[in-house]
Amino acid sequence: MMALGKGADMQDKRHEFMQRVEAKRDGLIALTQALIQIPTLNPPGEYYHDICAYLEKHLRGLGFECEMIRAYDTPGDSPRHPRWNIVARREGGRPGECVHFNSHIDVVEVGQGWSMAPFGGELKDGRIYGRGACDMKGGLAASIIAVEAFLEVWPAFSGAIEISGTADEESGGFGGVAYLSEQGYFSPSRVQHVIIPEPLHKDRVCLGHRGVFWAEIETRGHIAHGSMPFLGDCAVRHMGAVIAEMETSLFPALAKKRTDMPVVPKGARQSTMNINSIHGGQDEPPPGFTGLPSPVVPDRCKMIIDRRFLLEEDIADVEAEIRALLEKLKSKRMGFAYEMHPIHSVNPVMTAKDAPVVTTVAAAIEAVLDKKPQFVVSPGTYDQKHIDRIGRMKNCIAYGPGILDLAHQPDEYIEVEDMIDSAKVMGLALADLLTGTSAANLGE
């Protein structure tokens, strides 16, 4: 009988919580608009302090203790463009676990093709428009509203809630989550559950992402007069041979490497590689130069490759596979000389499907949307990589409102209804993890 009574009481409270989220619709819209109207463009990293100060004021009003943390001397940090972050924490009345909502505060460049003001935050037909609306100020606002409503219904929760706004996700996260992880903010002793409200859609739980291997390949030749190319050795033609070899052997081999990771879109459920850029020969002439280039055989050519790899692959094998291709050319092609330099890499991560934050958010999605959640993996990386590798925190997911396809596009928007739904999901997850009523905590 006791359990039944407790269950019924919990049902009432869940119902009350959902109504409170609904009642905060206007506040949610205003908060999202205010965040969009701070144009936190990255690069170069504008207005980070402004948006952190705005969040600080708002979160202090909800009883959070706020820390403003500058990531000194991280890439891009300068007196003109300081890398500011905010970490806010509110303790509950009793000991327990900490749930952390992490959102990046930066947005990418505006680009062409907008019909709405990119930093206007205009509301039209239930959508709020602006750069960063979906990626990911809408998710940040939804998580704050979720916490607001949660605190009204369950003021005596156990454990702690953290909300962070972090810099530079769009440029690798070094002045944001990577820095904070190094400083211990994402250590398992401080934080037990992390939810990143990236726009993966309100009915999906994103478990992680594929890996990244970036490298620069350079072919070498021999400079000579362009009228007598036989006296030189053309580095661009050598690079042409590299591309031809990639077309005949590497790309078909990558297409055969399939993964069990549930990556969306499905086209990314395999190894992929993009040739990011290629440059051979003389430098581009300076702007305004109207003369002709001088005739020379190019003695160097550079290519940047962006290889995305799978949980089933090892980064050493990924690098070795490309090196083997280059070595093969070296053995069969006269004069072929190359160098390869890795420039950036990230290991794939995937949180276990039975991890507590996964099962809790999945159950909350079912409760709010009355449908089974989809478990997905992102083709590209996001800040989970730092939380996993530096923070050693494995209980982390991305979950938030919005459609990933709209990110970085003109006329980016977020649906208000999606924010409301995902705020309900986030709040119910908090109730499950922090009020001692989840199956795991019933013994308390």
* Piece in contact with Zn ion (CB under 5 A), picked from 69-77, 128-136, 236-244, 426-434: 128-136
- Cβ of residue 202: shortest distance to Zn ion, in angstroms? 16
* Cα angle, residue 417 at apex, residues 413 and 422 outer, rounded to 5°: 95
* Piece in contact with Zn ion (CB under 5 A), picked from 30-38, 127-135, 217-225, 373-381: 127-135
Binding of residue 136 to Zn ion (CB under 5 A): yes
Which residue is it, tokens 């692959």?
A: 313
Whose Cβ is closer to Zn ion: residue 66's or residue 136's? 136
d(CA 21, CA 418): 12
- Cβ of residue 201: shortest distance to Zn ion, in angstroms? 13
Whose Cβ is closer to Zn ion: residue 212's or residue 428's? 212
Instruction: Give the end-to-end CA distance of the chain in Å, rounded to a whole number.
Output: 17
Residue sitting closest to Zn ion (CB):
135
- Cβ of residue 198: shortest distance to Zn ion, in angstroms? 5
- Cβ of residue 104: shortest distance to Zn ion, in angstroms? 6
Whose Cβ is closer to Zn ion: residue 323's or residue 408's? 408
Whose Cβ is closer to Zn ion: residue 51's or residue 215's? 51
With 0-12 / 13-18 / 19 or more C-beta atoms within 10 angstroms meaning exposed / middle / buried, residue 136 is: buried
Q: Assess contact for 343 and 403: CB atoms under 8 A.
A: no
Binding of residue 135 to Zn ion (CB under 5 A): yes
- Cβ of residue 111: shortest distance to Zn ion, in angstroms? 16
- Cβ of residue 137: shortest distance to Zn ion, in angstroms? 10
How many residues line the site for Zn ion (CB under 5 A)?
Answer: 3
Whose Cβ is closer to Zn ion: residue 197's or residue 221's? 197
Site pattern 197..226 for Zn ion (x: CB under 5 A) = -x----------------------------
- Cβ of residue 139: shortest distance to Zn ion, in angstroms? 8
Site pattern 159..198 for Zn ion (x: CB under 5 A) = ---------------------------------------x
Whose Cβ is closer to Zn ion: residue 96's or residue 400's? 400
- Cβ of residue 314: shortest distance to Zn ion, in angstroms? 28
Whose Cβ is closer to Zn ion: residue 104's or residue 308's? 104
Whose Cβ is closer to Zn ion: residue 196's or residue 301's? 196
Binding of residue 412 to Zn ion (CB under 5 A): no
Whose Cβ is closer to Zn ion: residue 166's or residue 192's? 166
d(CA 66, CA 73): 22
- Cβ of residue 405: shortest distance to Zn ion, in angstroms? 13
Site pattern 15..34 for Zn ion (x: CB under 5 A) = --------------------
Whose Cβ is closer to Zn ion: residue 271's or residue 381's? 381
- Cβ of residue 169: shortest distance to Zn ion, in angstroms? 6
Whose Cβ is closer to Zn ion: residue 136's or residue 305's? 136
- Cβ of residue 135: shortest distance to Zn ion, in angstroms? 4
d(CA 74, CA 386): 14
d(CA 401, CA 204): 9
Positions touching Zn ion (CB under 5 A) are: 135-136, 198
